[in-house]
Amino acid sequence: MELTLQEKVGTYSVFTQVAETEHEQVIFCSDNATGLKAIIAIHNTTLGAAAGGTRMWSYANEADALNDVLRLSRGMTFKNSIAGLNLGGGKAVIIGDARKDKSEAMMRRFGKFVDSLAGKYITAEDVGITTKDIEYMAMHTKHVAGKPEYMGGSGDPSPVTAYGVYMGMKASIKKVYGNDSLENKKIALQGIGNVGKNLLERLVKDGAKVYVSDFYEDKLQEIAKQYPSITVIGLNEIYDLDIDIYAPCALGATINDDTLSRLKCNIIAGGANNQLANEKIHGDLCRDKGILYAPDFLINGGGIINVYYEILDNYNRERALRHCENIYDNTLKIYDLAKQDGSNTQEAAIKMAKERIDMAAKLNAKK
Protein backbone atom coordinates (compact mmCIF):
# COMPACT_ATOMS: atom_id res chain seq x y z
CA MET A 1 0.00 0.00 0.00
CA GLU A 2 1.26 3.49 -0.86
CA LEU A 3 2.54 5.44 2.15
CA THR A 4 1.00 8.78 3.00
CA LEU A 5 3.21 11.85 3.03
CA GLN A 6 2.91 11.88 6.85
CA GLU A 7 4.14 8.28 7.05
CA LYS A 8 7.06 9.06 4.71
CA VAL A 9 8.08 12.09 6.79
CA GLY A 10 7.91 9.93 9.89
CA THR A 11 7.45 12.58 12.56
CA TYR A 12 4.28 14.46 13.31
CA SER A 13 4.00 17.60 11.22
CA VAL A 14 1.02 19.91 11.04
CA PHE A 15 2.16 21.31 7.69
CA THR A 16 2.55 17.84 6.20
CA GLN A 17 -0.95 16.93 7.28
CA VAL A 18 -2.34 20.17 5.86
CA ALA A 19 -0.47 19.62 2.58
CA GLU A 20 -1.54 16.01 2.35
CA THR A 21 -5.21 16.90 2.68
CA GLU A 22 -4.74 19.75 0.15
CA HIS A 23 -6.05 22.51 2.38
CA GLU A 24 -5.84 26.15 1.34
CA GLN A 25 -5.60 27.56 4.87
CA VAL A 26 -5.87 26.46 8.50
CA ILE A 27 -6.46 28.98 11.29
CA PHE A 28 -5.78 28.30 14.99
CA CYS A 29 -7.93 30.45 17.29
CA SER A 30 -7.01 30.78 20.95
CA ASP A 31 -8.45 33.05 23.62
CA ASN A 32 -7.40 32.76 27.26
CA ALA A 33 -10.22 34.92 28.62
CA THR A 34 -12.99 32.64 27.35
CA GLY A 35 -11.01 29.38 27.20
CA LEU A 36 -11.65 29.15 23.47
CA LYS A 37 -9.44 26.75 21.53
CA ALA A 38 -10.66 26.36 17.97
CA ILE A 39 -9.38 25.39 14.54
CA ILE A 40 -10.92 26.66 11.31
CA ALA A 41 -9.97 24.69 8.19
CA ILE A 42 -10.54 26.08 4.72
CA HIS A 43 -10.17 23.26 2.25
CA ASN A 44 -11.15 24.61 -1.17
CA THR A 45 -12.78 27.83 -2.35
CA THR A 46 -13.02 27.13 -6.09
CA LEU A 47 -16.82 26.97 -6.00
CA GLY A 48 -17.27 29.87 -3.57
CA ALA A 49 -16.80 30.79 0.10
CA ALA A 50 -15.82 27.79 2.25
CA ALA A 51 -18.95 26.75 4.14
CA GLY A 52 -19.37 24.15 6.85
CA GLY A 53 -20.48 23.95 10.46
CA THR A 54 -18.63 24.25 13.73
CA ARG A 55 -18.31 21.16 15.95
CA MET A 56 -17.66 21.30 19.70
CA TRP A 57 -16.22 18.08 21.07
CA SER A 58 -14.01 16.96 23.95
CA TYR A 59 -11.17 15.57 21.83
CA ALA A 60 -8.66 13.32 23.58
CA ASN A 61 -5.84 15.57 22.30
CA GLU A 62 -5.14 18.43 19.89
CA ALA A 63 -3.91 16.13 17.11
CA ASP A 64 -7.31 14.41 17.09
CA ALA A 65 -9.04 17.79 16.80
CA LEU A 66 -6.83 18.79 13.87
CA ASN A 67 -7.34 15.47 12.18
CA ASP A 68 -11.11 15.77 12.59
CA VAL A 69 -11.37 19.30 11.22
CA LEU A 70 -9.18 18.48 8.21
CA ARG A 71 -11.26 15.43 7.34
CA LEU A 72 -14.51 17.28 7.87
CA SER A 73 -13.59 20.32 5.79
CA ARG A 74 -12.39 18.17 2.89
CA GLY A 75 -15.72 16.35 3.09
CA MET A 76 -17.53 19.70 2.90
CA THR A 77 -15.79 20.53 -0.41
CA PHE A 78 -17.22 17.37 -1.95
CA LYS A 79 -20.57 17.68 -0.18
CA ASN A 80 -21.18 21.22 -1.41
CA SER A 81 -20.06 20.34 -4.91
CA ILE A 82 -22.16 17.20 -5.32
CA ALA A 83 -25.21 19.01 -3.94
CA GLY A 84 -24.86 21.54 -6.77
CA LEU A 85 -24.10 24.46 -4.44
CA ASN A 86 -21.80 27.36 -5.26
CA LEU A 87 -19.90 26.94 -2.00
CA GLY A 88 -16.41 25.71 -1.21
CA GLY A 89 -15.50 23.45 1.71
CA GLY A 90 -14.56 24.45 5.23
CA LYS A 91 -15.23 23.43 8.80
CA ALA A 92 -14.34 24.44 12.36
CA VAL A 93 -13.88 22.57 15.62
CA ILE A 94 -13.93 23.94 19.15
CA ILE A 95 -12.07 21.81 21.67
CA GLY A 96 -14.14 21.23 24.81
CA ASP A 97 -17.19 19.58 26.32
CA ALA A 98 -20.30 21.31 24.93
CA ARG A 99 -22.30 20.42 28.05
CA LYS A 100 -19.69 21.86 30.48
CA ASP A 101 -17.23 24.25 28.83
CA LYS A 102 -19.40 26.35 26.56
CA SER A 103 -20.32 29.96 27.37
CA GLU A 104 -21.89 32.96 25.67
CA ALA A 105 -18.52 34.72 25.76
CA MET A 106 -16.77 31.78 24.09
CA MET A 107 -19.34 31.60 21.28
CA ARG A 108 -19.15 35.37 20.73
CA ARG A 109 -15.35 35.29 20.66
CA PHE A 110 -15.50 32.53 18.10
CA GLY A 111 -17.88 34.69 16.03
CA LYS A 112 -15.21 37.40 16.03
CA PHE A 113 -12.61 34.96 14.72
CA VAL A 114 -15.00 33.93 11.91
CA ASP A 115 -15.55 37.59 11.11
CA SER A 116 -11.81 38.21 10.83
CA LEU A 117 -11.83 35.95 7.74
CA ALA A 118 -14.09 38.48 5.96
CA GLY A 119 -16.44 35.96 4.36
CA LYS A 120 -13.88 33.43 3.19
CA TYR A 121 -15.44 31.00 5.69
CA ILE A 122 -19.15 30.76 6.56
CA THR A 123 -20.03 28.77 9.65
CA ALA A 124 -23.18 26.98 10.86
CA GLU A 125 -24.18 24.26 13.39
CA ASP A 126 -22.59 20.88 13.82
CA VAL A 127 -22.35 18.45 16.76
CA GLY A 128 -22.38 20.31 20.08
CA ILE A 129 -23.51 23.64 18.60
CA THR A 130 -27.08 24.93 18.90
CA THR A 131 -29.04 27.72 17.19
CA LYS A 132 -28.56 29.73 20.41
CA ASP A 133 -24.78 29.50 19.92
CA ILE A 134 -25.22 30.59 16.32
CA GLU A 135 -27.16 33.60 17.61
CA TYR A 136 -24.19 34.54 19.83
CA MET A 137 -21.76 34.18 16.92
CA ALA A 138 -24.07 36.29 14.73
CA MET A 139 -23.66 39.20 17.18
CA HIS A 140 -20.15 39.61 15.74
CA THR A 141 -20.28 38.33 12.19
CA LYS A 142 -22.66 38.09 9.28
CA HIS A 143 -20.77 35.08 7.97
CA VAL A 144 -22.87 32.60 9.89
CA ALA A 145 -25.89 30.62 8.72
CA GLY A 146 -28.43 28.38 10.39
CA LYS A 147 -29.58 31.37 12.44
CA PRO A 148 -32.81 30.99 14.40
CA GLU A 149 -36.03 31.64 12.46
CA TYR A 150 -36.88 34.65 14.64
CA MET A 151 -33.64 36.25 13.37
CA GLY A 152 -34.69 35.68 9.75
CA GLY A 153 -32.56 32.55 9.50
CA SER A 154 -33.33 29.01 8.39
CA GLY A 155 -33.29 27.57 11.92
CA ASP A 156 -32.16 24.09 12.83
CA PRO A 157 -30.97 22.35 9.62
CA SER A 158 -31.29 18.83 11.06
CA PRO A 159 -34.84 18.06 9.81
CA VAL A 160 -33.68 18.84 6.27
CA THR A 161 -30.51 16.78 6.74
CA ALA A 162 -32.65 13.88 7.95
CA TYR A 163 -34.92 14.24 4.91
CA GLY A 164 -31.89 13.98 2.60
CA VAL A 165 -30.63 10.91 4.45
CA TYR A 166 -34.10 9.39 4.12
CA MET A 167 -33.97 10.07 0.34
CA GLY A 168 -30.54 8.42 0.05
CA MET A 169 -31.72 5.48 2.15
CA LYS A 170 -34.79 4.97 -0.02
CA ALA A 171 -32.69 5.07 -3.20
CA SER A 172 -30.37 2.46 -1.67
CA ILE A 173 -33.33 0.23 -0.75
CA LYS A 174 -34.59 0.55 -4.32
CA LYS A 175 -31.18 -0.54 -5.63
CA VAL A 176 -30.99 -3.60 -3.35
CA TYR A 177 -34.61 -4.72 -3.05
CA GLY A 178 -36.16 -3.43 -6.30
CA ASN A 179 -38.65 -1.09 -4.59
CA ASP A 180 -38.01 1.70 -2.13
CA SER A 181 -40.42 0.77 0.66
CA LEU A 182 -39.12 0.93 4.22
CA GLU A 183 -41.94 -1.21 5.58
CA ASN A 184 -40.63 -3.99 7.84
CA LYS A 185 -37.02 -3.12 7.01
CA LYS A 186 -34.80 -3.72 10.05
CA ILE A 187 -32.76 -0.57 10.66
CA ALA A 188 -30.12 0.04 13.34
CA LEU A 189 -29.97 3.76 14.07
CA GLN A 190 -26.85 4.93 15.90
CA GLY A 191 -27.34 8.26 17.68
CA ILE A 192 -30.64 9.96 18.33
CA GLY A 193 -29.43 13.53 18.28
CA ASN A 194 -30.74 16.24 16.00
CA VAL A 195 -30.43 14.23 12.79
CA GLY A 196 -31.15 10.80 14.28
CA LYS A 197 -34.42 11.71 15.93
CA ASN A 198 -35.77 13.45 12.82
CA LEU A 199 -34.81 10.43 10.74
CA LEU A 200 -36.36 8.09 13.30
CA GLU A 201 -39.72 9.84 12.96
CA ARG A 202 -39.76 9.14 9.19
CA LEU A 203 -38.59 5.52 9.59
CA VAL A 204 -41.23 4.70 12.20
CA LYS A 205 -43.94 6.40 10.10
CA ASP A 206 -42.96 4.23 7.12
CA GLY A 207 -43.28 1.05 9.17
CA ALA A 208 -39.59 0.19 9.61
CA LYS A 209 -38.45 -1.92 12.58
CA VAL A 210 -35.92 0.36 14.25
CA TYR A 211 -33.18 -0.48 16.78
CA VAL A 212 -31.72 2.56 18.50
CA SER A 213 -28.53 3.26 20.44
CA ASP A 214 -27.17 6.43 22.04
CA PHE A 215 -24.63 7.52 24.64
CA TYR A 216 -27.24 9.16 26.82
CA GLU A 217 -29.64 7.01 28.80
CA ASP A 218 -32.04 9.94 29.36
CA LYS A 219 -32.42 10.47 25.60
CA LEU A 220 -33.06 6.78 25.05
CA GLN A 221 -35.74 6.61 27.72
CA GLU A 222 -37.50 9.66 26.29
CA ILE A 223 -37.43 8.36 22.72
CA ALA A 224 -38.64 4.89 23.75
CA LYS A 225 -41.64 6.51 25.42
CA GLN A 226 -42.38 8.53 22.30
CA TYR A 227 -42.05 5.55 19.91
CA PRO A 228 -43.11 2.35 21.67
CA SER A 229 -42.38 0.25 18.54
CA ILE A 230 -38.60 0.85 18.66
CA THR A 231 -36.04 -1.37 20.40
CA VAL A 232 -33.29 0.20 22.50
CA ILE A 233 -29.93 -1.53 22.15
CA GLY A 234 -26.44 -1.20 23.64
CA LEU A 235 -23.67 0.99 22.19
CA ASN A 236 -21.62 -1.98 21.02
CA GLU A 237 -24.49 -4.38 20.30
CA ILE A 238 -25.44 -2.32 17.24
CA TYR A 239 -22.71 -3.97 15.14
CA ASP A 240 -23.87 -7.52 15.81
CA LEU A 241 -27.52 -7.34 14.80
CA ASP A 242 -29.04 -9.09 11.82
CA ILE A 243 -30.45 -6.10 9.96
CA ASP A 244 -31.16 -4.62 6.54
CA ILE A 245 -29.65 -1.19 7.15
CA TYR A 246 -27.06 0.28 9.50
CA ALA A 247 -27.69 4.03 9.85
CA PRO A 248 -24.79 5.84 11.59
CA CYS A 249 -26.04 9.20 12.87
CA ALA A 250 -23.46 9.90 15.60
CA LEU A 251 -19.75 10.41 14.98
CA GLY A 252 -17.45 9.26 12.17
CA ALA A 253 -15.15 6.29 11.49
CA THR A 254 -17.62 3.67 12.72
CA ILE A 255 -17.08 1.70 9.50
CA ASN A 256 -13.72 0.12 10.20
CA ASP A 257 -11.93 -3.24 10.31
CA ASP A 258 -13.64 -4.28 13.54
CA THR A 259 -17.20 -3.26 12.67
CA LEU A 260 -17.01 -4.58 9.10
CA SER A 261 -16.03 -7.99 10.43
CA ARG A 262 -19.23 -7.95 12.48
CA LEU A 263 -21.88 -6.00 10.55
CA LYS A 264 -24.60 -8.14 8.99
CA CYS A 265 -26.50 -5.70 6.77
CA ASN A 266 -27.14 -5.02 3.09
CA ILE A 267 -26.97 -1.24 3.23
CA ILE A 268 -25.14 1.45 5.19
CA ALA A 269 -26.90 4.79 4.95
CA GLY A 270 -26.77 7.43 7.68
CA GLY A 271 -26.22 11.08 8.48
CA ALA A 272 -22.84 11.01 10.24
CA ASN A 273 -19.86 12.64 8.57
CA ASN A 274 -16.73 10.63 7.63
CA GLN A 275 -18.24 7.24 8.32
CA LEU A 276 -15.45 5.27 6.62
CA ALA A 277 -12.35 5.08 8.82
CA ASN A 278 -10.36 4.81 5.58
CA GLU A 279 -12.14 5.73 2.35
CA LYS A 280 -10.20 3.32 0.16
CA ILE A 281 -9.82 0.31 2.47
CA HIS A 282 -13.27 0.36 4.02
CA GLY A 283 -15.07 1.60 0.90
CA ASP A 284 -13.60 -1.38 -0.96
CA LEU A 285 -14.38 -3.76 1.91
CA CYS A 286 -18.06 -2.71 1.87
CA ARG A 287 -18.20 -3.40 -1.88
CA ASP A 288 -16.42 -6.75 -1.54
CA LYS A 289 -18.71 -7.84 1.30
CA GLY A 290 -21.78 -6.93 -0.77
CA ILE A 291 -22.77 -4.02 1.50
CA LEU A 292 -24.09 -1.03 -0.44
CA TYR A 293 -22.54 2.05 1.13
CA ALA A 294 -24.41 5.33 0.54
CA PRO A 295 -21.64 7.98 0.50
CA ASP A 296 -22.11 10.10 3.63
CA PHE A 297 -21.34 13.48 2.08
CA LEU A 298 -23.85 12.80 -0.68
CA ILE A 299 -26.83 11.81 1.45
CA ASN A 300 -26.25 14.11 4.45
CA GLY A 301 -26.07 17.27 2.32
CA GLY A 302 -29.56 18.43 3.36
CA GLY A 303 -28.28 20.65 6.16
CA ILE A 304 -25.94 22.62 3.96
CA ILE A 305 -28.58 22.78 1.21
CA ASN A 306 -30.87 24.31 3.82
CA VAL A 307 -28.38 26.97 4.93
CA TYR A 308 -27.43 27.66 1.30
CA TYR A 309 -30.81 29.28 0.73
CA GLU A 310 -30.26 31.37 3.85
CA ILE A 311 -26.83 32.43 2.55
CA LEU A 312 -28.47 33.38 -0.77
CA ASP A 313 -30.83 35.53 1.28
CA ASN A 314 -34.07 34.07 0.01
CA TYR A 315 -34.67 31.27 2.49
CA ASN A 316 -37.61 29.01 1.84
CA ARG A 317 -37.79 25.61 3.55
CA GLU A 318 -39.98 24.13 0.85
CA ARG A 319 -37.33 24.99 -1.74
CA ALA A 320 -34.61 23.40 0.41
CA LEU A 321 -36.66 20.21 0.82
CA ARG A 322 -37.32 20.00 -2.94
CA HIS A 323 -33.59 20.48 -3.59
CA CYS A 324 -32.88 17.58 -1.20
CA GLU A 325 -34.98 15.26 -3.29
CA ASN A 326 -32.18 15.31 -5.91
CA ILE A 327 -30.27 13.13 -3.44
CA TYR A 328 -32.46 10.17 -4.44
CA ASP A 329 -31.47 10.30 -8.13
CA ASN A 330 -27.86 11.26 -7.38
CA THR A 331 -27.49 8.24 -5.10
CA LEU A 332 -28.70 5.92 -7.86
CA LYS A 333 -26.35 7.67 -10.34
CA ILE A 334 -23.39 7.08 -8.03
CA TYR A 335 -24.22 3.37 -7.73
CA ASP A 336 -24.25 3.13 -11.54
CA LEU A 337 -20.99 5.07 -11.83
CA ALA A 338 -19.27 2.86 -9.24
CA LYS A 339 -20.38 -0.26 -11.10
CA GLN A 340 -19.21 1.15 -14.42
CA ASP A 341 -15.79 2.18 -13.02
CA GLY A 342 -15.34 -0.83 -10.73
CA SER A 343 -14.68 1.67 -7.93
CA ASN A 344 -16.20 1.82 -4.48
CA THR A 345 -19.23 4.10 -4.05
CA GLN A 346 -17.29 6.73 -2.04
CA GLU A 347 -14.70 7.02 -4.83
CA ALA A 348 -17.45 7.34 -7.42
CA ALA A 349 -19.09 10.16 -5.43
CA ILE A 350 -15.74 11.97 -5.02
CA LYS A 351 -15.17 11.65 -8.76
CA MET A 352 -18.54 13.26 -9.49
CA ALA A 353 -17.90 16.05 -6.97
CA LYS A 354 -14.42 16.75 -8.39
CA GLU A 355 -15.77 17.03 -11.93
CA ARG A 356 -17.93 19.97 -10.89
CA ILE A 357 -15.01 21.64 -9.08
CA ASP A 358 -12.80 21.21 -12.17
CA MET A 359 -15.53 22.72 -14.30
CA ALA A 360 -15.70 25.76 -11.97
CA ALA A 361 -11.89 26.10 -11.95
CA LYS A 362 -11.91 26.31 -15.74
CA LEU A 363 -14.68 28.91 -15.68
CA ASN A 364 -12.82 30.91 -13.00
CA ALA A 365 -9.65 30.87 -15.12
CA LYS A 366 -11.57 32.51 -17.97
CA LYS A 367 -12.75 35.48 -15.84
Name the amino acid, one letter, at 108.
Answer: R
- The reply to whether 133 sits near ligand NAD by the rule CB under 6 A is no
Q: Judged by CB under 6 A, does residue 295 bind ligand NAD?
A: no
Q: Rounding to the nearest 10 degrees, give the CA dihedral for residues 226, 230, 236, 242.
A: -170
CA distance 99 to 34: 15
DSSP H helical segments within 21-61, as ranges? none
CB of 295 to ligand NAD, least distance (A): 13
Region 250-289 residues binding ligand NAD, contact defined as CB under 6 A: 250-252, 271-273
Mark the segment that binds ligand NAD (CB under 6 A) among 40-48, 189-197, 201-209, 340-348: 189-197
Catalytic hit among 79, 91, 147, 197? 91
**Residue among 24, 214, 279, 310 that touches ligand NAD (CB under 6 A):** 214
Pairing mode, if any, of strands 54-57 and 88-95? parallel
The answer to whether 311 contacts ligand NAD (rule: CB under 6 A) is no
Q: Decide if residue 73 touches ligand NAD (CB under 6 A).
A: no
Q: Is 77 among the residues that bind ligand NAD (CB under 6 A)?
A: no
How far is the C-alpha of 267 from the C-alpha of 229, rounded, in Å? 22
Q: Which x/- pattern over 12-41 shows residues binding ligand NAD (rule: CB under 6 A)?
A: ------------------------------
Residue 154 in contact with ligand NAD, rule: CB under 6 A? no
> CA–CA separation, 320 vs 333, rounded Å?
21
Q: Given the complex with ligand NAD, which of 21 and 343 has the nearer CB atom?
A: 21
Dihedrals φ, ψ of 67, to 5°? Answer: -60, -45
Rounded Cα distance between 147 and 164, Å, is 20
Helices 326-341, 317-324: crossing angle, 10 deg rounding: 20
* Of 12, 28, 177, 215, the one binding ligand NAD by CB under 6 A: 215
**Pairwise CA distance, residues 144 & 310, whole Å:** 10
Output 271 or 283, the one with its CB closest to ligand NAD: 271
70 binds ligand NAD (CB under 6 A): no
Residue in 214, 207, 220, 171 with CA at minimum distance from that of residue 191: 214
Run of H or E including 161? helix 158-177
For the question of residue 264 being annotated catalytic, the response is no
Subset of residues 85 to 114 that bind ligand NAD, contact rule: CB under 6 A: none
Interface region with ligand NAD, contact rule CB under 6 A, candidates 23-31, 105-113, 212-220, 318-326? 212-220
Q: Which residues contact 69 (CB under 8 A, 6 or more apart)?
A: 26, 39, 40, 41, 55, 91, 92, 93
* Residue closest to ligand NAD, measured at CB: 193
Question: With binding defined as CB under 6 A, does residue 196 bind ligand NAD?
Answer: yes
Residue numbers at the binding site for ligand NAD (CB under 6 A):
125-127, 157-158, 161, 190-196, 213-216, 219, 235, 249-252, 271-273, 300, 303
> What amino acid positions are annotated as catalytic residues?
91
